[in-house]
Amino acid sequence: MNNKSPIRCCWREDLEASRNLTPQQKNGFTMLLGWFENFRLRKTLSPGREAAVLFWRTEVLHDGKEREQWQLDQWAEAMAWYLNWFRACQHKGGDHRSIPERMRDASDTFGMRRGLARRTRLSYGSWIARYGAFAKTANAAMDPAVASEFLGWIVKEQQCSYATQKIALNSLAFFFKGTSDNLIPRKWSPISSTLCWFET
């Protein structure tokens, strides 16, 4: 029996390691693909060509902003790079989910185990995914200082209401379930053990 875990694919890491792209191209690709990833998370879309086409039509071409041709050309190259990367991951049987998706899925599994209502799981999962996008890496997501930065960011930069802030805080508390009051995760807390498989 083969119990080997699937290869974890990360487009950010592979993009940074690409030898055939300039630093300027990498910066432009990262911006566009981060935008695309956030779009997919909001819409709960699976990665692939269909999501890319919808993103291009609704976000790039029809958001009311004029785009320079060089931007469109670079962004088209970025999407082509991503779709090639995605096909390579599929071919190798790799896990192509982003860190936010892994965190959201793990929290949903933990929520089902604890009997949380679907609506609550979706709410928590949405905020945990946003936190994952903010943290960018699994190691950073497990850092309580990054969690504090995220909570401060939604207050100062996003200007979320008190009720929304409370939901975000509850979501992060759920993410660090079994931890101390200041969100310092214990190594083998229930949620940490659920998430440990995607740590870098």
Residue-range domain boundaries for the chain: 11-91, 99-198
Counting as low any pLDDT under 70, the low residues of the chain are: 1-6, 63-64, 178-200
Residue 114 CA to residue 108 CA, distance in Å, equals 10
The pLDDT of residue 63 is 64
CATH architecture of 99-198: Orthogonal Bundle (1.10)
Q: Which residues of 54-93 are buried (b: 16+ CB within 10 A; e: fewer)?
A: ebbeeebeeeeeeeeeeeeebbeebbebbeebbeebeeee
Collapsing DSSP states into helix, strand and coil, what is residue 8? Answer: strand
pTM above 0.85, yes or no: no
The pLDDT of residue 194 is 36
Tell me how far CA of residue 68 lies from CA of 39, 75, 115, 145, 163, in angstroms: 21, 11, 50, 39, 40
The pLDDT of residue 188 is 31
The pLDDT of residue 57 is 92
> Contact 192/175 with Cβ under 8 angstroms?
no
- Note the pLDDT tens digit of each residue in 56-98: 999 998 866 788 899 999 999 999 999 999 999 888 887 778 8
